[in-house]
Amino acid sequence: MGHDSKPMQAHAGAPPAGKSQGLTRTLRNLMFASLTLLVVLNLFITPHDPHFGLDRFPGFWALFGLLGAVILAKGAKGAAHTFLGKDEDFYEKGSEDPRGQGAK
């Protein structure tokens, strides 16, 4: 059972790294443009009867949703690092053989 000396190649269906980053940037810009359009439309199309005090401000719900998403994402990332993070030498700690020869 020898190891193959050939370098690993990317999956045939995966786009090159440059195209993937360009697509991500394009989709992000498209999303922000559509959100901006909705906020601008909200300047002219206002709710008839706002239920809350802040409802009457144009773009309130867009800003509320954006802030909520950012807070949830940052909180999830922080929780993942706190509860799932391991020390740098976590996997090396248990690799010692009781006879002192190390793992093979």
How far CA 77 is from CA of 28, 67, 81, 85, in Å, comes to 20, 15, 6, 11
Structural domain containing residue 32: 17-46+53-86
Q: Which two tokens stand for residue 77?
A: 């990332």
Considering the domain boundaries, does residue 58 fall inside one?
yes
Distance, in Å, from the CA atom of 96 to the CA atom of 94, rounded to the nearest integer, reads: 6
Distance, in Å, from the CA atom of 78 to the CA atom of 65, rounded to the nearest integer, reads: 20
Q: Which two tokens stand for residue 56?
A: 């009457």
Considering the domain boundaries, does residue 68 fall inside one?
yes
Q: Which two tokens stand for residue 66?
A: 């954006």
88 phi and psi, to 5 degrees?
-60, -35
59 close to 39: Cβ distance less than 8 angstroms: yes
Q: pTM score, two decimals?
A: 0.50
Considering the domain boundaries, does residue 103 fall inside one?
no
43 close to 58: Cβ distance less than 8 angstroms: yes
Considering the domain boundaries, does residue 2 fall inside one?
no
Considering the domain boundaries, does residue 29 fall inside one?
yes
Q: What's the structural domain count of the chain?
A: 1
Considering the domain boundaries, does residue 37 fall inside one?
yes
Mind listing the pLDDT tens digit for each residue in 1-53? Answer: 455 555 555 555 555 666 778 899 999 999 889 988 888 888 888 777 778 88
Of 104, 84, 82, nearest to 95 by C-alpha is 104
Considering the domain boundaries, does residue 91 fall inside one?
no
Place 68 in a pLDDT band, splitting at 50, 70 and 90: very high
